[in-house]
Amino acid sequence: MKQIKITNHQLYALTANGSLGGAVMIMASALTAIAKQDAWLSAFLTPVLGLPVIWIYWFLGSQYPGLTFVEITKKILGRWIGTVAAASYVLICFTLAYHLPWYISDFITTQAMPETPSYVISLLFVLAVVIAILYGIETIARVSELYIRFVLVMSVLTLLLVSPNINFENLQPILENGIIPVFKGSYFLACFILFPIITVLMIYPANTDNVSVAKKAIIKGFLVSGFIVFTSILMSVLVLGSKISASLQYPTYLLAKEIRLGIIFTRLEFIIAGTWIITQFMVAVLCFYAGLTGLSQLVGLKDHKRIVLPMGLVILLLSEIVFPDVIYQTSWISLVWLPYATTHGLFLPLLLLIVHQIKSKILKAI
Amino acid sequence: MAVLSILAVVLFSFVLSIVEIPKMLKQKLYKELVIFCLFLMFGTVLAVLKSLDVKVPIPSDLIAWIYSPLAEVMKSITK
């Protein structure tokens, strides 16, 4: 199969979308629960501390141009261990892919359309994802380029419009409980905006031309999404205060409800909901694509598009049963998702990097 | 309602099989065929069980069980 190449700006858009993902809407709540009024500091630290991890992702890809992450894993760790590691990577991609329809249907049924059954919304969402995958990676990359501009403009606009409601006393006292909760919060945030970028590694070395220019694209994408997340969390703390933000499920949504500029600009909350749904869609497409291509390469399929439709059915049904309720979901996220994402987003690339360096040293010595 | 959703899923799987399987046989994509049938069967069975309100084991529970030794550490981080 001929490899389709994507441009660097498309790679940047995919990274930004993939990193932004679920974070904008739900993160402010969990983060303010951990770091209280210093949540904005954690949101500032995550992009800074995340740069080395992004560098590891880029370096791994740059050493094996033209290969995907599954092939890189197999090449570095050998056939058997590599297959096991790659299989668990494919599994986390699918796990993410069937989590996202749940978030969308939960959000729509609790905030906008309470009488619609959740599977109808999941069905529409999964249908859109399946159609996107059937169109192929080139279309996905192009549409992500289009979406990221829309998302950027809309989030900056809503956050600017809400700024008259700022109350700076919400930020005080700074560092009340010391620096430790800030670091805890930034680790928590990293599991949502940093480690999911690992799914981009199914696209980045395989479908890009120039790896050294791709470095800039990935870092820029990550920083842009980090900036949006930072501003949205800062605004949540400034406008709503940390106590209210922590008790809500979707603080940024309420934040947009606060916009009141005269009688013209009111109730803009569905703009921010729309941008959230768009980024969720892009993340779902990315994860589903990464899982599908990873699975095809793992078992040696020629064409991943053949198994999209049955996989879509499985994803739809799993998204219906994945979390029985919101309480289960919150405890699962904090107890299970954090180590799960860390294993695949941090430890697996780190292990690959170390084994790669040892291997290349030995090869040089011989 | 249960009958309707079961019928819809079975119809979907049936039509999909009729459309896709001959194509794959013609192109001799046997591995794809195996994976295709496996996932389609899995999905259909899951849909039928879900429509009949049978309690299906949750995949999240399995991942939670794998990472259960770390639960205490995580509790201290997220508090």
**Residue A360: exposure state from Cβ atoms within 10 A (0-12, 13-18, ≥19):** exposed
* pLDDT tens digits for range B3-48: 888 888 889 888 988 888 888 888 888 888 888 889 999 989 988 8
Residue A1 within a domain: no
Residues 6+ apart with CB under 8 A from A83: A74, A298
Q: How far apart are CA A166 and CA A187, in angstroms?
A: 27
Please answer whether residues A353 and A56 qualify as being in contact, where contact means their C-beta atoms are separated by less than 8 angstroms.
yes
Residue A105 within a domain: yes
B chain contacts of residue A301, beta-carbon cutoff 8 Å: 29, 31-32, 35
Q: How far apart are CA A213 and CA A61, in angstroms?
A: 12
Cα distance from A321 to chain B (closest Cα, Å)? 6
Per-window interface: B 7-66 vs A, CB < 8 A: 9, 12-13, 16, 20, 24, 29, 31-32, 35-36, 39-40, 42-44, 46-47, 50, 56, 58-60, 63-64
Provide the ipTM: 0.90
Domain limits for position A211: 8-365
Cα distance from A295 to chain B (closest Cα, Å)? 10
Q: How far apart are CA A347 and CA A305, in angstroms?
A: 31
Q: What percent of chain A has pLDDT over 70?
A: 99
Considering the entire predicted model, what is its pTM? 0.91
**Structural domain tally of chain B?**
1
Bridge partner residues of A6 (DSSP):
A208
* pLDDT tens digits for range B51-67: 888 888 888 888 888 88
- Mean pLDDT for chain A? 87
Residue A191 carries which side chain, given as an amino acid letter?
A: C
Residue A338 within a domain: yes
Closest residue to A307, CB basis, from B9, B32, B71:
B32
Residue A2 within a domain: no
Cα distance from B3 to chain A (closest Cα, Å)? 16
DSSP letter assigned to residue B24: H
Return left, alpha or beta for A86; rule: phi > 0 is left, psi -120 to 50 is alpha, else beta.
alpha
Closest residue to B75, CB basis, from A301, A317, A335:
A335
Q: How far apart are CA A356 and CA A73, in angstroms?
A: 10
* pLDDT tens digits for range A50-97: 999 999 999 988 888 888 888 889 988 888 999 999 999 999 999 989
A chain contacts of residue B71, beta-carbon cutoff 8 Å: 335
**Structural domain tally of chain A?**
1
On the CB side of A126, CA atoms within 13 Å amount to 28
Q: How far apart are CA A190 and CA B72, in angstroms?
A: 20
* pLDDT tens digits for range A171-213: 878 877 888 888 888 888 888 888 888 888 888 888 787 778 8
Domain limits for position B53: 2-78
Closest residue to B50, CB basis, from A30, A34, A321:
A321
B chain contacts of residue A295, beta-carbon cutoff 8 Å: 35
Q: What DSSP string runs through A295-332?
A: HHHHHT-S-GGGGHHHHHHHHHHHHHHS-SSHHHHHHH
CATH of the domain at A203: 1.20.1740.10
Residue A39 within a domain: yes
Q: How far apart are CA A279 and CA B26, in angstroms?
A: 39
